[in-house]
Amino acid sequence: MGQSNLNDFFKPGQILPSHVVMIKKALEILEHSPHGQQLVNFVEKKGITIKIMPTPQPEAYLPEKNLVYIGFNKNKPVSPSCFVLMLAGVLREAQQEAAGIKHPRLHAPLSEHVEVSMAKHEDKVWYMCAVATELNDQVTFTEYKFLDEIRKMGHNEAIDLYIEQERKK
């Protein structure tokens, strides 16, 4: 599918397409970002299954190492850019698991849980910032407003820090 088709079914302001089309188009969009391309390659290599389910609030989670869920309320669906970023985040979590970065065992000290959970979350958000910035810089995705979306997701500080550090390179 060419770039012209990316906006045909999965475009801000339009009714969301079927789950299959949403996932396919989100992966196609991710392919346009170097960090996103790594995630798409990971999905293909590891045979990751992506599912969408109804949830009261938008959320993404990884119940098993090869299964990711993205949930949102169908009466108040997420924007395409939010969906792409949620997918990037949960796929990064799957990569962490595949690399052996797992949550501590249940009875581990609280400090270990906090340390590992924070490190994993920070890495995931940083990755989402990379994807958002890379896609936002492309004219094809101007109307998606990826940087605005990552801010709406509550990552103002992270995206500002990411952009500042990228400028210094």
User: Could you read off the pLDDT of 28-67 as tens digits, one per residue?
Assistant: 999 999 999 999 999 999 999 999 999 999 999 998 889 9
Looking at residue 3, its pLDDT comes to: 43
The burial class, CB within 10 Å (0-12 / 13-18 / 19+), for 113 is middle
Task: Report the C-alpha gap between 68 and 163 in whole angstroms.
Answer: 28
Task: Decide if 31 contacts 135 (C-beta within 8 A).
Answer: no
What pLDDT sits at residue 77?
A: 85
pLDDT of 106 reads 85
pLDDT of 5: 45
Question: Per the structure block, which two tokens stand in for 85?
Answer: 């970023």
How far apart CA 5 and CA 18 sit, in angstroms, is: 15
Q: What is the pLDDT of residue 9?
A: 61
pLDDT at 8: 58
Residues of the chain with pLDDT under 50: 1-7
